[in-house]
């Protein structure tokens, strides 16, 4: 058993980054995730593993420092919260276009605009539909506990390097700020320069006479070539949809009604299930762990046994679109969620199920 600690979600991200053998973290403070860079700063990662830590002048700079280091084969990451993630969209589009692996965590707060520093899940569209310009996708993981905040760092890097694609960890102020028990995995050594050159033959590590020069770019001026590049990206996304869907089912065996909820909302929905089952309601939860790729087949497979679905998200209704794409008009599927940084309570979720689905 690994080391047990009581940690904030933000701290767990930071500690996991050091332990996962990350080469560099570039970031800019923003509430509610500043503990990530503060914790890293307190840990002297340069001494612990040789990991580079730099507070950049902006989120625009952070994500482009990530681009540079990722293009050179390094394991590199940044974190931010909603307004900062908006600033990173340009960089993320370039990184996706240039097919570079990296990890970004968004500890979501309420918007739009400066919004609020309270938790929200209203960045779902931005996270799962690309976010910046052009046809691309990020691999999106949604942790629902502090343990998963830690565990998803190495998982996100594995997926990012497997597909040469940026991976996004989509959490929120609640998961970032809460403390829970975490079992920390053991230190993974950082890769040596030789290992990087071997495992990332595409990276700009300096051109030896023995190979052609490596170029990291997302520019293909010839539309035909650009189209082929886009097809290549799309093929990669289809492969992710086949192989990388992750989800958790809770109390689904006898369920007549289903909550679909991720992250914080999934936790609150579990409490609502406990309350509902006390009243004799047969409710289950499907918790998407990957938001992209979204567990479409898993939801479809459950439809014949269900009377209705409530998609629960702290937003005006974003994930519901993906749920409805999966369900069609076969059974009722509705959205419930509080907005602007207000966290819905288990009772509110249960009432919404009763009003919108059972009574509806």
Partner 1 sequence: MTEEIIIAGFGGQGVLSMGKILAYSGIMQDQEVSWMPSYGPEMRGGTANVTVILSDERISSPILTEYDTAIILNQQSMDKFEEAVKPGGTLIYDGNGISRHPERKDINIYRIDAADEASSMGLSKIFNMIVLGGYLKVKPLVNLKNVSLGLKKSLPERYHHMLPDNEKAIKRGLEIIQPVHTLD
Partner 2 sequence: MRDEMLKDIISEENLVYKKTDLMTDNVLSYCPGCGHGTAHRIIMEVVDEMGLQEETIGIAPVGCSVLAYEFMNIDMQQAAHGRAPALATGIKKTWPEKFVFTYQGDGDLAAIGTAETLHACNRGENILIVFINNGIYGMTGGQMAPTTLSGMKTSTTPFGRDTALMGNPLKITELVAELPGTQFVTRQAVHTPAAVRKAKKAIKKSIELQRSGNSGTTFVEIVSNCNSGWKLPPVQANKWMVENMFPFYPLGDIKVNGELVK
- Which CB, 54 or 184, lies closer to partner 2? 54
The contact set with partner 2 (CB under 8 A) reads 23-24, 26, 52, 54, 56-58, 60-62, 64-72, 74, 76, 90-91, 94, 98, 193, 204-209, 213-219, 221
Burial class of 287 by CB neighbour count within 10 A (0 to 12, 13 to 18, 19+):
buried
Q: Does residue 217 sit in helix, strand or coil?
A: coil
Q: What is the largest CA-CA distance in the chain?
A: 73
> Residue 24 or 104: which CB sits closer to partner 2?
24
Contact 11, 177 (CB under 8 A): no
Interface residues with partner 1 (CB under 8 A) are 4-6, 31-32, 117-118, 173-174, 177-181, 264, 267-268, 270-274, 343, 345-347
For the bound state, the minimum distance from the C-beta of residue 219 to partner 2, rounded and expressed in Å, comes to 6
- Residue 214, contacted partner among partner 2, partner 1, none, CB below 5-8 A by kind: partner 2
Which of partner 2, partner 1, none is residue 56 near (CB under 5 to 8 Å by kind)?
A: partner 2
| Residue number, 181 or 300, with CB nearest to partner 1 | 181
CA nearest to 147, candidates 15, 26, 300: 15
Pick 9 or 27: Cβ nearer partner 2: 27
Nearer to partner 1, 4 or 219 (CB): 4
- State CA 35 to chain mean position distance: 18
Indicate the residue among 186 and 194 with the shorter CB distance to partner 2: 194
106: enclosing H helix or E strand: strand 102-108
Out of partner 2, partner 1, none, which partner does residue 346 contact, by CB within 5 to 8 A per kind? partner 1
Euclidean distance between the first and final Cα of the chain, in Å? 48
Selection from partner 1, partner 2, none that 270 binds (CB < 5 to 8 A by kind) is partner 1
User: How far, in Å, CA of 9 to CA of 36, rounded?
Assistant: 9
How far, in Å, CA of 18 to CA of 334, rounded?
Answer: 41
> What is the rounded distance in angstroms from the CA atom of residue 220 to the CA atom of residue 120?
37
Residue 76 CB, nearest distance to partner 2 (Å)?
Answer: 7
């Amino acid at each position: 058993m690994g080391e047990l600690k009581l940690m904030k979600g933000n701290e767990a991200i930071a500690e996991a980054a050091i332990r996962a053998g990350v080469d560099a973290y570039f970031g800019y403070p923003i509430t509610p995730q500043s503990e990530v860079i503060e914790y890293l700063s307190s840990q002297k990662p340069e001494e612990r593993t040789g990991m580079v830590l730099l507070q950049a002048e902006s989120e625009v700079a952070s994500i482009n420092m990530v681009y540079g280091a990722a293009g050179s084969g390094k394991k590199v990451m940044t974190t931010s919260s909603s307004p900062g993630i908006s600033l990173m969209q340009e960089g993320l589009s370039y990184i996706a276009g240039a097919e570079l692996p990296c990890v970004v965590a968004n500890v979501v707060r309420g918007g739009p605009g400066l919004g609020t520093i309270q938790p929200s899940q209203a960045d779902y569209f931005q996270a799962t539909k690309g976010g910046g310009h052009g046809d691309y996708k990020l691999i999106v993981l949604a942790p629902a506990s502090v343990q998963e905040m830690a565990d998803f760092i190495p998982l996100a890097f594995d997926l990012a390097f497997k597909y040469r694609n940026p991976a996004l960890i989509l959490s929120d102020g609640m998961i970032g700020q809460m403390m829970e028990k975490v079992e920390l995995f053991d230190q993974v050594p950082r890769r040596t320069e030789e290992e990087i050159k071997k495992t990332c033959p595409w990276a700009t590590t300096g051109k030896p006479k023995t190979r052609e020069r490596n170029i990291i770019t997302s520019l293909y001026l010839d539309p035909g070539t650009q189209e082929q590049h886009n097809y290549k990206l799309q093929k990669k996304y289809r492969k992710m949809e086949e192989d990388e869907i992750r989800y958790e089912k809770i109390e689904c065996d006898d369920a007549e009604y289903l909550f679909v909820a991720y992250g914080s909302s999934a936790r609150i929905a579990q409490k609502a299930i406990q309350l509902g089952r006390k009243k004799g309601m047969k409710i289950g939860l499907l918790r998407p762990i990957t938001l992209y790729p979204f567990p479409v087949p898993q939801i479809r497979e459950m439809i014949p046994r269900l009377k209705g679905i409530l998609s629960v998200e702290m937003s005006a209704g974003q994930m519901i679109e993906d749920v409805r794409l999966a369900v069609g008009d076969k059974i009722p599927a509705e959205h419930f969620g509080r907005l602007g940084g207000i966290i819905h309570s288990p009772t509110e979720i249960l009432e919404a199920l009763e009003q919108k689905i059972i009574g509806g």
